Amino acid sequence: MSKTQAFADPSTRRPLASLTAGRAADRTTLSVTKGGSSSDFSRKARVKVAVIYGLTTVIPLLVMVYVIQANVFFSKRMDIAWVSSLSLIAMAVALLGGKVMKEVWAKVGQAVQLIERLHSDHDPVAANFPMQPIDEIDRIPSVVTRLVEITKQQMQELKSYNEQIQLLNSKLREANQKLHQISIEDSLTGVYNRRYFDDRIEHEIARTKRFGRDLAFAMIDIDFFKHYNDTAGHLAGDKALATIGKIIRESVRETDLPFRYGGEEFALILPETAGESAAAVAERIRSAVEKHEFHGGASQPNGALTVSVGVSTLGNDCHFLLELISAADRALYKAKSSGRNRVVAHSPD
């Protein structure tokens, strides 16, 4: 039966009158010792206490007073043997009183145990809630050991979680890099797309002006590309775009930036490059395209699939973005009108 049920169940409760009667009987039992009455027990206890008090305190004190008085006040010369005898007698009396006191205290202890046992038998609270002392200090080492084990286990789990988080972060960085590359790259040609061109060209112009460096820009257009699509087919046209994009990437430095400007047009930003060097790069691209054998290229008006390139440089009459692009576009138009498959560099009028 639980502690709560012990109070909730009426059958376990003892009537108040019964409890009162039981406690009265306990007091009567305590008051009677070996057939004697309550008054006999009290009288004998007083006599024993008086004897103990006399043996342990009064008699030794009288002996000490006698010795002090004889030596100090009356200056009597006392025999050392006599004084030693009195001291031994006083010590013996005190030891005798101690022995008697021990016996009395033993009986008092038995009476206290009897009271506790009777209290447990007749008190419903003590009966239903036995007190079982527990030494909490003895449990401290085991509790500390358990806490250390739990801490180590949690540290291992945290280490495992940290490794998993680092792995996920690494994968996330790789995924972000791929997404960034996809967002700025033209999927067909492998060069940068027009969106990235709009962002990067202004940055390069500002950087060039700030440090006083050179910057060249080129526009590349495939000659008679509509004719090529009509005769060779659009699949061949896509393949030709991809091939030309690869040729452009392989013909420039890592610091140069090739873009698909739109349709069959490409753009090329050449940082740290002057006009003559930019024209040389453009010529290298034009020559590589002309030499490549494209499917159906022989049916082109020029007898091969070729490109025309217009080049402009920052400075002189080109100081801003629109001026740089417009100058390259005019040079490209001049290359187209001059027979195509050539490079024309912009020159100030």
CA distance 165 to 167: 5
Per DSSP, the three-state class of 318 is strand
Residues with active-site annotation: 264
Joined tokens for residue 165:
């988080």
Nearest to 203 by CA among 124, 269, 128: 269
- φ/ψ region of 183 (left if φ > 0, alpha if ψ in -120 to 50, else beta) reads alpha
Nearest to 189 by CA among 220, 218, 226: 220
CA distance 315 to 330: 16
CA distance 111 to 164: 71
Q: In the sheet that 343-345 helps form, which strands lie side by side, from edge to edge? A: 257-262, 265-271, 215-222, 307-313, 343-345
Pairing of strands 343-345, 265-271: unpaired
Kind plus residue range of the DSSP H or E element containing 223? none
Q: What is the dihedral of CA 162, 164, 165, 171, to 10 degrees?
A: 150
Exposed (0-12), middle (13-18) or buried (19+): which is 286, by Cβ within 10 Å?
Answer: buried
